[in-house]
Copies of this chain bind each other. A is one copy, B any other.
Amino acid sequence: MRILNQEIPSAVGQTVTVAGWVHRRRRLAAVSFLVLRDRSGLSQVVVKAPGTLAQLDGLGEETVVQVTGTVAANPQAPGGAELVDPVIEALTEPAHTPPIELWRPTVNSGLPVLLDNAPVTLRHPVVRAGWEVGAAALHGFRATLDGLDFTEIQTPKIVGTATESGANVFALDYFGGPAYLAQSPQFYKQTMVGVFERVYEVGPVFRAEPHDTVRHLAEYVSLDAEFGFVQDHRDVLAVLRDVIAGMLEAVGTRAAGALERLGVELPGIPEQVPVLHFSEALKLAGADPDEPDLSPADERAIGEWALREHGSEFVAVEGYPMVKRPFYTHPQPSDPRWSNSFDLLFRGVELVTGGQRLHRYGDYVAALRARGESAEDPAYSSYLQAFRHGMPPHGGFAIGLERFVARLTGAENVREVALFPRDLHRLTP
Q: Which of A's residues lie within 8 Å of B, judged by CB?
A: 2, 19, 21-22, 38-39, 62-64, 91-93, 95-96, 98, 117-120, 122-123, 128, 131-132, 134-135, 138-139, 142, 146, 149, 151-160, 170-175, 177, 179, 181, 188, 191-192, 194-198, 202-204, 206, 208, 210, 218-219, 221, 229, 359-362, 381-383, 385-386, 388-393, 401, 419-420, 422, 424, 427-429
Contacts and interface: CB of A to CB of B under 8 A. Distances in A.
Contacts of A386: 119-120
A420 B39 CA distance: 38
B139 A390 contact: no
Contact of A198 (B39, B385, B401): B39
A418 to B, nearest CB: 9
Contacts of A173: 170-172
A177 to B, nearest CB: 8
A210 B157 CA distance: 19
Contacts of A158: 170, 181, 206, 218-219, 422, 427
A175 B383 contact: no
Nearest to A254: B146
23 contacts: A19-B229, A22-B390, A38-B197, A39-B198, A64-B359, A64-B390, A92-B390, A92-B392, A119-B194, A122-B192, A123-B194, A134-B154, A138-B152, A138-B154, A153-B419, A156-B419, A159-B427, A171-B173, A175-B208, A203-B203, A203-B204, A381-B429, A383-B429
Chain A interface mostly: mixed
Copies in the assembly, this chain: 2
A107 to B, nearest CB: 14
A153 B131 CA distance: 8
Given A422-B156, A422-B158, A63 B390 contact: yes
A96 B419 contact: no
